[in-house]
Amino acid sequence: MATSNTALVTGASGGIGMELARIHAQKGGDLVLVARSEDKLEALKAELESEHGVSVLVIAEDLSQPEAAGIEISTLINNAGFGGHGLFHERDITSDQAMMQVNMVSLTNLTHYYLQGMVARQNGRILNVSSTVSFMPGPLQAVYYATKAYVTSFTQALAEELAGHNVTATALCPGAVATGFVAAGDLDGVDIWKNAKSADSVARCGYQAMEKGQLVAFNEGRLKFLLNWIIPLLPRKTVLKISRQFMEKK
């Protein structure tokens, strides 16, 4: 498999990851698809190879386990991640530990593994899928919000470090997205997902931002304005109350 235009996409078996893989294939790029569901990955592989004539490698890995690395690539898309609803002290700590492993540790490990080659070749792109929730604390999703704050902060720091190396790092920060995330994270009944955006539209926003080397990409202008110009001016306790209200189940 050639490395000149090969993208590795984690969490590629559905949602934003699947749509990002489709966009890359439409542009003629080869792919390494990573997720736990081998059947879904194989189906996507068949679709992309048939429709776009690209080469696709499937790696069925549980990214909650350490050392889940792949092969040399030129574009890294860290999309894998999951959440979980409830009071922190009542949640199963092993679930939150797995969340931290996937959302932060595996993302960091994969980035370190592939970034060295990108810098050596003076060419590469990184897209880390974060969230608008990374800009505030998240009562009832305390660990998930914190993991995404890490992703957004980490990505921006990388972008500055990589200036001058022809390697870019972009954080995609969408609002609510219509994916399997809601069911997996026990978020049914939370109002903000009633107007969730499509995974395809979010993926296109992120991919375009990555191509342009943007630092942070929002798929909704009103959320960008709210997070950049309103939330920072509010008292911290007010922000916490608003954040909790967003996560309350009706």
Per-domain boundaries in the chain: 6-247
**Going edge to edge, which strands form the sheet with 30-35?**
56-60, 30-35, 6-10, 75-78, 124-129, 167-172, 216-217
Provide the pLDDT for residue 62: 76
Provide the pLDDT for residue 192: 73
Low-confidence residues of the chain: pLDDT under 70:
1-3, 64-70, 181-186, 188-189, 193
Provide the pLDDT for residue 194: 74
Q: What is the DSSP string of 60-97?
A: E--TTSS-------SEEEE-------S-GGGS-HHHHH
Catalytic residue among 114, 144, 145, 150: 144
Provide the pLDDT for residue 178: 83
Closest CA to 176 of 197, 145, 202: 197
Provide the pLDDT for residue 68: 47
Q: Please state whether the predicted TM-score (pTM) of the whole model is above 0.85.
A: yes
Q: What is the DSSP string of 146-157?
A: HHHHHHHHHHHH
Residue pair 86/129 in contact by the 8 Å Cβ criterion: no
Residue pair 83/185 in contact by the 8 Å Cβ criterion: yes
Catalytic status, residue 144: yes
Residue pair 206/217 in contact by the 8 Å Cβ criterion: yes
Provide the pLDDT for residue 53: 98
* Cα 169 to Cα 164: distance, rounded to the nearest angstrom: 12
Instruction: Report which DSSP code applies to 51.
Output: H
CATH superfamily of 6-247: NAD(P)-binding Rossmann-like Domain (3.40.50.720)
